Chains A and B, each alone.
Chain A
Amino acid sequence: MAELKFSKDHEWVTMDGVVATIGITDHAQQALGDVVFVELPELGREVKAGEACAVVESVKAASDVYAPISGRVVEVNAALTDNPGTINSDPAGEGWFFRLEPSAPAELAELMDDAAYHRFVEESA
């Protein structure tokens, strides 16, 4: 499996060939609680790194999901619409949100690796 990279907004990214898959981290889903609704970006939308492009709603509140890197949305995980709880049960797998064709692949290098992200979570706790 390709290496996971992490943003400070608690998204993960993994590259598979020329396509990046994006989701939210286990830490993020725990903080959110039970997810009851997800709004996914439109196919073909161009997003910039740090741009809000999806929404995840728990029983309690709505939160934005940000694009960790820039690119064009080429696929969304439509299965989440009927089963948003997958984001809680399998955040790094079946609970992925969308796929991007990166427009600035160098941005990936600015994201954190697993060890750095875990330090980041511990330090912000």
Chain B
Amino acid sequence: MADSTDHPGETLLETPLGALHRELGGRMVPFAGYAMPVQYPLGILGEHLHCRAAAGLFDVSHMGQAELVGANAAAALEALTPADVAGLKPMRQRYALLTTEAGGIFDDVMVANFGDRLFLVVNASRKHEDFARIEASLPPGVRLNRLPDRALLALQGPGAAAAIAPLAPALAAMKFMDVAQVTIAGAPCLVSRSGYTGEDGYEISVPADQAATLARALLALPGVAPVGLGARDSLRLEAGLCLYGNDIDETTSPVEAALVWSIGKRRRLEWNFPGAERVREELANGTQRLRVGIRPEGRQPARGHTAVHVPGGEQVGEITSGGFGPSLGGPMAMGYVARAHAADNSPLELMVRGKPLAARVAAMPFVANRYAR
């Protein structure tokens, strides 16, 4: 037995829910510079299954929040992303990639149009880099307001909408990727109907000083249990969703990452985003490698950085995220493989601790999405 979760000497930040996590018995671990609960006493497996059966409450306050204000905010953001921001309708949200000049992925973010401003949620591990990059590129008249005094909660699962309805009846009418400004348990919130689990649910931005009160009110709702980062990772992997730093980074392009759907149609005519040259070339001629889902045969998981080979032959790729899917009832992974081996059902071998493990390319999501479309 070896323990590998210690990072002694590191000074960790706390979210506004740090005390609540400890009160709930959360096992705190370092993540992106924060002390975060990897699990509560129910355990990763139980929390994962609970979220798919009822509703889970996640603290994702470590993520970066900001608003972009000014008449030309959408155009300013389009200078950094291939997403169609100008075409995003009021009170709607969209997934967007920030790209590098070389055509890599700088971060993946959520952009919401609240009418008078754009609201951004970015990865915790990238927020300082993202905000600096955005600020450095802004034209006069557009301002980035970082929102470090807001917490972010996610209520996810098939029971989420029914559970929260008594506290905020307006949320029931929202569709997947709608956003709204709603007062919940006395707190002024920015709500989106979205998440990172493949389930229906909401992400709720709340002032930090009201976050614990709101979290307690949500945990008191029938069927709602706290869920930690461990189950957040297994839920998102079952849903086929990328984790920045594992599955996408500055070396992977939107085309290789199979995230072309996040590029706006108009942007593919204009080709005026960072890295457009590489994206255009790859769309025309194909890429060397593609991000795919991979299912190992049997029960043995293959983790990130596992080498992917053709059966009995050469290496053709690498796993970027891998683990066990509690709802899938078996191991699952995603990773990059050479294009010739990227079709569904292509046979592969994963080299796990020096031994080949039979696997196949598999369609994602591994567990069907249940968004409120």
Point out residues on A near B: beta carbons under 8 Å.
9-11, 24-25, 28, 31-34, 36-37, 39, 55-66, 81, 84
Contacts and interface: CB of A to CB of B under 8 A. Distances in A.
Given A33-B39, A37-B300, A59 B2 contact: no
12 contacts: A9-B2, A31-B1, A33-B45, A33-B230, A36-B301, A55-B353, A57-B300, A59-B324, A59-B326, A60-B323, A62-B303, A66-B1
A61 B303 contact: yes
Interface of B: 1-4, 38-39, 43-46, 48, 230-231, 233-234, 299-301, 303, 323-324, 326, 331, 353
Contacts of B39: 33
Nearest to A59: B44
B36 to A, nearest CB: 13
Contacts of A25: 1
Contacts of B43: 33-34
B1 A60 contact: no
Nearest to B330: A36
Contact of A33 (B3, B4, B44, B301): B44
A24 B48 contact: no
Top 5 A-B pairs ranked by shortest CB distance?
A34-B45, A10-B1, A36-B324, A59-B44, A28-B1
B1 A63 contact: yes
A86 B324 CA distance: 17
Contacts of A81: 299
A34 B228 CA distance: 14
Contacts of B4: 61, 63
A9 B301 contact: no
Contacts of B323: 59-60
Contacts of A65: 1
Contacts of B1: 9-11, 24-25, 28, 31-32, 56, 63-66
A34 B324 CA distance: 11
Given A33-B45, A34-B45, A57 B324 contact: yes
A117 to B, nearest CB: 12
A81 B298 CA distance: 10
A37 B329 CA distance: 12
Given A37-B300, A55-B353, A60 B44 contact: yes
B45 A59 contact: yes
A60 B299 CA distance: 14
Nearest to A11: B1
A59 B324 CA distance: 5
A79 B272 CA distance: 60
A66 B2 CA distance: 9
Contact of B38 (A10, A60, A63): A60
Given A9-B1, A10-B1, A31-B3, A62 B44 contact: no
A65 B230 CA distance: 22
A34 B2 contact: no
Contacts of B331: 36-37
A56 B231 CA distance: 18
B51 to A, nearest CB: 13
A1 B324 CA distance: 36
B2 A60 contact: no
Given A37-B331, A62-B303, A65-B1, 5 more contacts: A25-B1, A34-B43, A36-B299, A59-B234, A81-B299
A81 to B, nearest CB: 8
A37 B45 contact: no
Nearest to A25: B1
Contacts of A55: 353
Contacts of A9: 1-2
Q: Which of A10, A24, A60 has the most CB of B within 10 A?
A: A60
Contacts of B45: 33-34, 36, 59
A39 to B, nearest CB: 7
Nearest to B44: A59
B152 to A, nearest CB: 23
B2 A58 contact: no
B231 to A, nearest CB: 8
A74 B224 CA distance: 48
